[in-house]
Structure 1
């Protein structure tokens, strides 16, 4: 009787191994061989599911995005119905910032992917639609005629805070204080 294989579970196993390698050793350590070792599978199995490093990276960033969306969804749901826009934005951004170890691990992978995408236009192009949607959504929550610019600056601040948190220059308390100051400015 043929063995039943859960292909999606195997892809996730490999993607999780890729994310561990990238988070612990950096993107330069990501290879089919290193990922296979981390996943406890053969290099051939990795190659069966991901023909190239680009395919592995695209899948890993999709997993990181899903995890971020799940954190945001849970945090926003906890606010109840019709939260004020400022609270909604703070909650969303705080859920996306690398404030704890699981989100720090995802943040390291995302940072590695963004660095990877800077020299691969096709990888960068894959990020544009979701970035555009996020800017538009944030702008819809901001008051005033400069909402689009405010959204872009708020998201740029979020990315900068994420870098400072990952690099250890800011503590979570400092990062959230900076976020609150910017939100106060945007909502004043």
Structure 2
């Protein structure tokens, strides 16, 4: 009896190959043939699972999202309140280990590719909109921030994207990027006073009151 092939498993295998190729070549130069060679399969097999290159790109975004979600679910700090939830998500978007370095390189390539691909651009906007809404809701539920929640969420997402580029480019270290994120999280969640002093009892520089 022939071995049953899980279509989702096969598509994920191909999406993983796409991510590896995109991290080194960029997405504009990636072809179904390149992905097939990286995955060790025929180009016809790739075309069997993905009708177009854009279909494959959107599925690859699903794979990255699933990886991020799995890491979040395994992170115990997500039970420590709104700021911890937001921090856990945003740290997943920083290239602080090998997996996230690869994902970070691909994320940059995706943004460039989506500039001329409406289908992929729509998916990226949906993902960003969802993250921004979640972050804003967490900031709103904390009830201490001096910034409007939507603006604070937009600022944090933009900050993380910029930090990721700087880490990948070797301008700052991953540790510096995480420390910078933490400083902005304290401001967004109202744990820094108007004079710039930490107002968070958990922060090592916070004054004892």
Q: TM-score, normalised by structure 2?
A: 0.81
Name 2:124's counterpart in structure 1.
Answer: 127
In the alignment, is residue 79 of structure 1 matched against residue 102 of structure 2?
no
SS in 1 for 2:77: coil
Distance 1:5 1:161, change over 3 A: same
* Displacement after TM superposition at 1:145 (Å): 6.0
1:28-64 deviations in Å (ceiling 9; x for gaps) = 3311111111111111111111121111111111111
In the alignment, is residue 139 of structure 1 matched against residue 136 of structure 2?
yes
Question: Is the helix fraction higher in 1 or 2?
Answer: 1
How well do the aligned residues superpose, as a CA RMSD in angstroms? 1.7
* Displacement after TM superposition at 1:22 (Å): 0.6
Name 1:164's counterpart in structure 2.
Answer: 166
1:5-39 deviations in Å (ceiling 9; x for gaps) = 22222111111111111112222331111111111
* Displacement after TM superposition at 1:80 (Å): 6.3
Instruction: Tell me how far apart the structure 2 counterparts of residues 165 and 71 of structure 1 sit (CA, whole Å).
Output: 20
- Residue 95 (structure 2) aligned to one of 94, 98, 105: 98
Instruction: Tell me how far apart the structure 2 counterparts of residues 98 and 133 of structure 1 sit (CA, whole Å).
Output: 21
Instruction: Tell me how far apart the structure 2 counterparts of residues 183 and 3 of structure 1 sit (CA, whole Å).
Output: 50
Instruction: Tell me how far apart the structure 2 counterparts of residues 3 and 140 of structure 1 sit (CA, whole Å).
Output: 47
Equivalent positions of 1:14-25 (< 5 A) are 14-25=14-25
Q: Which runs of 5+ in 1 are unaligned?
A: none
Name 1:26's counterpart in structure 2.
Answer: 26
Q: Larger deviation: 2-11 or 49-58?
A: 2-11
Name 2:113's counterpart in structure 1.
Answer: 116
Name 1:7's counterpart in structure 2.
Answer: 7
In the alignment, is residue 177 of structure 1 matched against residue 174 of structure 2?
no
What is the aligned length?
A: 185
1:51-83 deviations in Å (ceiling 9; x for gaps) = 2111111111111111112222222xx1264x1
Preserved CA contact (<8 Å) 2:54 2:119:
no
Higher Rg: 2
* Displacement after TM superposition at 1:113 (Å): 1.2
Instruction: Tell me how far apart the structure 1 counterparts of residues 52 and 12 of structure 2 sit (CA, whole Å).
Output: 16
Q: Which runs of 5+ in 2 are unaligned?
A: 140-144, 193-209
Preserved CA contact (<8 Å) 2:17 2:38:
yes
Preserved CA contact (<8 Å) 2:95 2:101:
yes
